A and B are shown apart, each in its own frame.
Chain A
């Protein structure tokens, strides 16, 4: 416990009191959930579906501007700009679907509504990673063991070295490149994350063990590829490859955005990591404190928060992973006030600061050292 400075100064009784104060906030929001929340999520769903469909229509409408038709208004700039408009629309719809809908619904934030259409155990999302698999790797492994070295597989995602507590190896030397590749194809990395391929390669896990998961990923990949890279493009006939490229671009746009936001959650400067020893006999109060110290917020406006799926309130999300996401901004000032009262850091900053320091770490830790800070 003494390894983490901010916690070292707190006596156990104060830590439990800290936990109780957070419980009060949780109970208050649980009691207050109601029609307003239902209206909110239904509205997001309506906007998301309308946007996705409209964006696809715009993409096909752009084909009318293709120079091949020889109309007066047909030109490359007109065609490409309308196609791009549709692509950006689809990208935004995919972002909303992934973050504010998928991520949060799969966290069971909306299970209390008992709407069979909005349940964590039946929801499937527009990503190559099967939702049920992600629910395990994310809700169980990551949220329970947040930032505990050797437990939380999301520390660097097995690809990156983001703290001096990870031992350096030559593999990490190429991480500036891995970082960019990972950002571009993020959904694919999430899909294979659970297979623990690094452990298979290290001989700690056998292929047959990973087989059922691999099959399920294969099934999901098939559905996704069929939709975005076969069926919708095929509707465009001779313009197959234009629509395919536009769909790929929309997916990459979503990948880059989610990667950026998610990497601001646990990697910016000032975030804390824990050892397995730290969490021996962990209490509720300590668990709360670990979530607070291991997460970072991003400052921004209302629309920005929605487009991040409220992961811009990563701290509140990690303290209360199953509260409806749009309540996080409401409770953030109170959480920040409580943290300040107990002398615990509350890591928040602009997107530029948070992502900038994350990039800084990726570059710094590509090289060996420094030796881990132990005090």
Chain B
């Protein structure tokens, strides 16, 4: 399952820097002194030359194994290096890989159980190759064992409560099954599977990720009831009648109102579920995990749009020709800048979402987290900058 938020970038970088306020132990003090010898680098920069997993300035992970789940989904078994602090079932992690020299960040749900991480010292993510998706295709098709990726820390609130028993209703679609798989594996590893209903949507039987394992779970644990719903007919046509409907929910899980809802899937499904739950006054009993960007990629012929400066909370309309530096200045900001002609890179700002156009060559940039030169970039549709 992939998300596209720029906020997770910050978490990826300097992943294992100790959080503020932690007591400085003798060990961190010694490491601090050792770093003075390596200045302006850190000892970790030299350790990673020997083994990337030893670095502490960045959290690296080695691809240990890959295994195909379906024709377009693949599980990557990753061995995180020093500094990995574990995860809770259902959480996601930011994964950074270079493609054609440029690093790309996407977040993926961890599909392995925390209980297994401890014994195998590995975690698993499952990536579905999205048509046209650069990163997902790279991860699901090109990455080979032995390659290294950069990891963020595990994060996310899509987790089971630890302090009380649950009666979950899982509703998943496509690769949305991955965080729920992590939960199921975790519950199974603890030996006590509670009363679970799981409704999973997939285009057809051959698209069901973890099909065998889910079937086995259902066989071994009578309290786990799995309903697979295929949204594509035998002829391959999409049929709306096979998508989520309240009638179907009542049929598959009559006691849904008394259960804790956990849903993960495409935007349309989640919107329908939220509407249904809140329509019944049960909005708080449904926890959803989204994996689509707040702003869609702008089309290449976009002309201007709404510009949001995230750090200062200012929002203005901009045309597609005025450089964002001037837009920022016109709205009262005073961003750092230098040459105002794209030479010196003093003005670069991080693109949070949306799309900008380099006025010099019409190159469009829409990857969140990219640092753009605002003196030579104009809005191409809506965009948000870290300014």
Contact = CB atoms under 8 A, between A and B. Distances in A.
Contact of A114 (B40, B103, B345): B103
A37 interface: yes
B46 A49 contact: yes
A108 B103 contact: no
Interface string A111-136: 11111110111001110000000011
Contact of B36 (A49, A119, A144, A231): A231
Interface SS majority for chain A = helix
Contacts of B14: 116
Interface stretch (A27-35, A175-183, A267-275): A27-35
Given A49-B45, A114-B370, A227-B36, A27 B345 contact: no
Interface in A312-358: 321-322
A143 B343 contact: yes
B101 A113 contact: yes
B312 interface: no
The 3 closest A-B pairs by CB, nearest first: A140-B338, A108-B345, A38-B101
Contact of A112 (B102, B343, B344, B369): B102
B220 interface: no
B102 A321 contact: no
B339 interface: yes
A322 B348 contact: no
B102 A113 contact: yes
Given A30-B361, A124-B40, A322 B100 contact: no
Nearest to A102: B40
Contacts of A33: 101
Nearest to A235: B37
A114 B13 CA distance: 11
Contacts of B338: 136, 139-140, 144
Given A27-B361, A139-B338, A144-B344, A37 B101 contact: yes
Nearest to A227: B39
Given A36-B101, A139-B346, A50 B40 contact: no
A222 to B, nearest CB: 10
A20 B339 CA distance: 20
Contacts of A53: 46
13 contacts: A34-B100, A46-B49, A49-B45, A113-B98, A113-B102, A116-B13, A121-B345, A139-B338, A139-B339, A140-B338, A140-B344, A143-B344, A144-B341
B343 A49 contact: no
B344 A139 contact: yes
Contact of A140 (B39, B346, B370): B346
A139 B14 CA distance: 27
A223 interface: yes
Nearest to B373: A108
Most buried by A among B57, B341, B371: B371
A21 to B, nearest CB: 15
A322 B343 contact: yes
Nearest to A35: B101
A233 to B, nearest CB: 11
Contacts of B371: 111, 114, 119, 121
Given A49-B45, A139-B344, A231-B37, A38 B98 contact: yes
Interface string B347-369: 01000000000000101000001
A139 B37 contact: no
Interface in B140-182: none
Nearest to A111: B371
A337 B23 CA distance: 63
Interface in A216-250: 223-224, 226-227, 231-232
Interface of B: 12-14, 36-37, 39-41, 45-46, 49, 57-58, 98, 100-104, 338-339, 341, 343-346, 348, 361, 363, 369-371
Given A46-B49, A135-B346, A223 B339 contact: no
A45 B314 CA distance: 40
Contacts of B40: 124-126, 223
Contacts of B343: 139, 143-144, 321-322
A223 B361 contact: no
Contact of A49 (B49, B98, B103): B49
A18 B81 CA distance: 52
A50 B49 contact: yes
B339 A140 contact: yes
Contact of B339 (A115, A119, A144): A144
A27 B339 CA distance: 20
Interface in A12-68: 27, 30, 33-38, 46, 49-50, 53
B37 A111 contact: no
Given A27-B361, A49-B46, A226-B36, A111 B345 contact: yes
Contacts of B45: 49
A120 B363 CA distance: 21
Contacts of B12: 116
A276 B14 CA distance: 45
A331 to B, nearest CB: 17
Nearest to B344: A139
Given A114-B103, A117-B58, A139 B345 contact: yes
A357 to B, nearest CB: 28
Contacts of A107: 345
Contacts of A116: 12-14, 58
Nearest to B342: A322
Nearest to B337: A140
A35 B101 CA distance: 4
Contacts of A223: 36, 39-40
Nearest to B33: A231
A94 to B, nearest CB: 12
A233 B203 CA distance: 68
B104 to A, nearest CB: 8
B373 to A, nearest CB: 9
A108 B348 CA distance: 10
Given A33-B101, A37-B101, A116-B14, 4 more contacts: A30-B363, A34-B101, A115-B103, A139-B346
Most buried by A among B13, B98, B102, B344: B344
Given A114-B102, A114-B370, A139-B338, A232 B37 contact: yes
B63 to A, nearest CB: 17
Interface in A136-164: 136, 139-140, 143-144
Nearest to B38: A227
B50 to A, nearest CB: 10
B36 A113 contact: no
A322 B348 CA distance: 13
Contacts of A126: 39-40
A112 B100 CA distance: 11
Interface in A164-222: none
A121 B369 CA distance: 14
B364 to A, nearest CB: 13
Nearest to A284: B341
